[in-house]
Structure 1
């Protein structure tokens, strides 16, 4: 991670968040799917329990001596076989040996249905009885649908529960393909929402990452220029009130220190140049003074040499304004000899 650029790290963070969101969406879809199926099976359970209530009503009349066992069952079965509910539900009943006792269609009444299999080979009638005897439960199986091709399979869900006094399992079933359509619609909604969130998230991430990485790049460029002692560049983003602004202000402070050092170096160079000029001027003055003094000595020496040879008419030549008084005094002294 230390070797990754900040932009890449931020994109990685966004990726992790998106993955977490995808996982959460997946579990939300699974929960919604389970809730949809639970709602349908709760409806089936309610219908079955209503059928058991009918059986119990006739059983109570049997216990009260109002009806014989056979008459009570016959009337109960007659009532239950006519019970229907939307969209195409009905009730059926087996004894514990999987013999069909009541059903809207009389074709299989009294037959042993333990060997009945669905379109995939599963013994669903036996499973309905077993789950009913176990206290009630769900059974899934595949069956053809009226008005549809026989080779086309549709998922069907059944719920069954036992009525112990008569050793009868009451059940009902309903096609679940409409639930799968609801689940698919839920999945598409979730995927669409996830896609929108993903696109918006990527767009927002790119915007905010650019808002971070671009100023950082600008400050880095300015810092490189300052490191090369280029103090003419304006430091960008010093007005930002975040970490980037703090870095920019620190870079600006460093630039000011370098600018002050440059100014100090310029002042020192100017002072050094002034000292050198003054030294050269003094040296030139000294040289001029020495040359003048040498000329004075030479001129007076020549005059003295002529006097030594007896020439009293000699006069000291011009030896400069600075030594004019000396020349005048020398010449005045000669005029009195």
Structure 2
């Protein structure tokens, strides 16, 4: 929890207005500092400009002295005349109205001073300014050290008596031992600086004043809307969803903030409505965040947990239904041997899987529903708790009743005590179904018992609905059909007895005829034995012929293989001839190249000789194979002759078989005469047998139909156990 209430500013913090004011003050101070730094740089710039100007002017004066010195060196005038001309020229020079040049020597003595001619010719080594600086000695030292340079000292302005700070630039002319110098008064630079600083300060004061006024207006323009937005956010945090967000019409960033806050208000209204809706939903629902901590629980789940808190406390020690918010959902244990193997409940639910919990003898089914924001970011998970304890108990009762019914026990019923609503309606319907099935089964059992005892007059007279009525009708129709079939079977049996007597008389005549036929058949048997012996002999001859034929075929196959080898050898000869031609061509090319290329010709010739040897060997192989083929052909001729001899023997055997067949034919003619009489008797028997067969077929069909229907009825009721009285 935050240490401060919502939207309350900590004591150590500053408001936005104070921070902006501090920022403006810092900016003013910074601007003043920048202005001061600028003025300082301005003074330094003015001083440097004057220094540069003085140095340049002294350089000009030094150039005048050098000019006259050069004239004297060339002999254009004497040294004294040149010095006098140079002094007079510099004595009359002025700049900036009052500034002048002077010359002293290295003694130092004053050579020329336009404003203090009384100093000319005097020794100035002891002359000091009010600060004690031997200025002319410093001039000489500066020239001796670097040939030129600046020297600070105090000197009265022209027309004045009070010494003021002055900065002079001196440069020595070594041929004459002179030091040419001029200086600027610092108070002149300060006067210019003060004038510029006054102007700058005035402009800066005006700008600062305008900036402060403008900044104050900007601060008020920021602070007031921010405070209004803060009040609106405070009202929203207090639950006042009808607050009007100010400043939404503004076109600046504060307007964007106001519009964003207004959109946030709409989201909050939607969230409150959703939360209120969840509170009013009849299903027990809670919401958990990404860490599995409960941050919302509706009234239904609170009421459900309150009603079963005693049972849940056995599995969750210290469980309090009224303190669900902030409780990690992992406090509810998951069975270690279950589908999820005892994993943390939060991880299972956040993964979108349903979970079954057994808490203190009650069974709950947890169904997760992930909730995402407008842009798909996860906002939490809605967990629906379904108490399935009563449902599973009733499910077990129904399963037990169904299992008993499967075993044929239809006496079981579902207890109705303690049930209400859907479960009561379902239990009553199942009980009525069991009673109906039991009644139908008892009626069928009674009817089938009578049928088994041979009573075909029993019928099912109870009126049922649907398939049960159809089952009763089918049983009654089966009994009717069975009675009709039994009657028809009785009449057919009497007719069959009469026809059987006639058939016995015909069979007596057939017996006498068959005795004569038996003697003829015996003669045929003896003849058949001799035919079999001749056939065995013919078969042996045929076997010899088959063996000879197989040998002939094998010989011809070997001839074919030899021919195949001959073809391969011929192909090889062709290839050798082709390669020989190529090598011959290469040899010709090598020979044409001349020079040392003769070695290549020798190699090619060797290859040609090798191929020629192979070409010579191939005809020998061909000759040998041809000889072998001739021998194989000769063997084939011999075998064919043997086959002809075997075929001659077969022909003789076949002649004997023909004689025997003649004997069989004569015996068969006698059999034909006896068979004529048998045919007449058999024709009479066949007619009566056909009539008997028709009757038997009808009897068989009726019996099969009756058997099929009986089996069907028996299978329908065989798994039911009826009461002792009905049985």
Q: Same fold (TM over 0.5)?
A: yes
Shift in Å, 1:217:
0.8
1:44 aligns with 2:57: no
Return the alpha-carbon distance in structure 2 between the equivalents of residues 95 and 49 of structure 1.
17
Return the alpha-carbon distance in structure 2 between the equivalents of residues 23 and 47 of structure 1.
36
Return the alpha-carbon distance in structure 1 between the equivalents of residues 174 and 36 of structure 2.
42
Report what 1:26 is aligned to. Answer: 36
Going from structure 1 to structure 2, the CA distance change for 1:116 and 1:247 (only over 3 Å counts) comes to: farther
Shift in Å, 1:25:
2.0
Tell me how large the CA RMSD over aligned residues is. 3.1
In structure 2, which of residues 262, 270, 279 is the aligned counterpart of residue 249 of structure 1?
A: 262
Report what 2:119 is aligned to. Answer: 108
In structure 2, which of residues 121, 125, 137 is the aligned counterpart of residue 126 of structure 1?
A: 137
Return the alpha-carbon distance in structure 2 between the equivalents of residues 223 and 19 of structure 1.
36
Asked if the contact 1:132/1:170 (under 8 Å) is kept, the reply is no
Matched length: 266
Asked if the contact 2:98/2:158 (under 8 Å) is kept, the reply is no
Asked if the contact 2:229/2:258 (under 8 Å) is kept, the reply is no
Shift in Å, 1:147:
4.7
1:139 aligns with 2:158: no
1:267-278 paired onto structure 2 within 5 Å: none
Q: Which has the larger radius of gyration?
A: 2
Return the alpha-carbon distance in structure 2 between the equivalents of residues 191 and 94 of structure 1.
44
Return the alpha-carbon distance in structure 2 between the equivalents of residues 120 and 246 of structure 1.
74
SS of residue in 1 equivalent to 2:97:
coil
Going from structure 1 to structure 2, the CA distance change for 1:250 and 1:5 (only over 3 Å counts) comes to: farther
In structure 2, which of residues 89, 98, 105 is the aligned counterpart of residue 88 of structure 1?
A: 98
In structure 2, which of residues 62, 72, 81 is the aligned counterpart of residue 62 of structure 1?
A: 72
Return the alpha-carbon distance in structure 2 between the equivalents of residues 190 and 86 of structure 1.
25
SS of residue in 2 equivalent to 1:166:
coil
TM normalised by structure 1 equals 0.68
Consecutive aligned runs of 4 or more in structure 1 exceeding 4 Å deviation: 258-265
Return the alpha-carbon distance in structure 2 between the equivalents of residues 63 and 239 of structure 1.
91
SS of residue in 2 equivalent to 1:226:
helix
Return the alpha-carbon distance in structure 1 between the equivalents of residues 54 and 240 of structure 2.
82
Shift in Å, 1:189:
2.4
Return the alpha-carbon distance in structure 1 between the equivalents of residues 43 and 96 of structure 2.
21
Report what 2:229 is aligned to. Answer: 219
5+ residue gaps in structure 2?
1-9, 282-727
1:197-208 paired onto structure 2 within 5 Å: 197-208=207-218
TM normalised by structure 2 equals 0.34
Post-superposition CA distance 1:189-239 (Å, at most 9, x none): 222233233222222222222222211111111222223333443221223
Asked if the contact 1:101/1:110 (under 8 Å) is kept, the reply is yes
Larger relative contact order (C-alpha < 8 A, sep ≥ 6)?
1
Asked if the contact 1:45/1:159 (under 8 Å) is kept, the reply is yes
SS of residue in 1 equivalent to 2:147:
coil
1:148-163 paired onto structure 2 within 5 Å: 148=160, 150=161, 152-163=162-173
Shift in Å, 1:263:
9.0
Post-superposition CA distance 1:167-205 (Å, at most 9, x none): 211011243423211101222222223323322222222
Report what 1:175 is aligned to. Answer: 185
Asked if the contact 1:48/1:161 (under 8 Å) is kept, the reply is yes
Asked if the contact 1:88/1:174 (under 8 Å) is kept, the reply is no
Report what 1:308 is aligned to. Answer: none
Return the alpha-carbon distance in structure 1 between the equivalents of residues 239 and 55 of structure 2.
84
Asked if the contact 2:245/2:258 (under 8 Å) is kept, the reply is no
Return the alpha-carbon distance in structure 1 between the equivalents of residues 122 and 241 of structure 2.
102
SS of residue in 2 equivalent to 1:85:
coil
Report what 1:303 is aligned to. Answer: none
Going from structure 1 to structure 2, the CA distance change for 1:6 and 1:135 (only over 3 Å counts) comes to: farther
Return the alpha-carbon distance in structure 2 between the equivalents of residues 21 and 86 of structure 1.
35
Asked if the contact 1:231/1:258 (under 8 Å) is kept, the reply is no
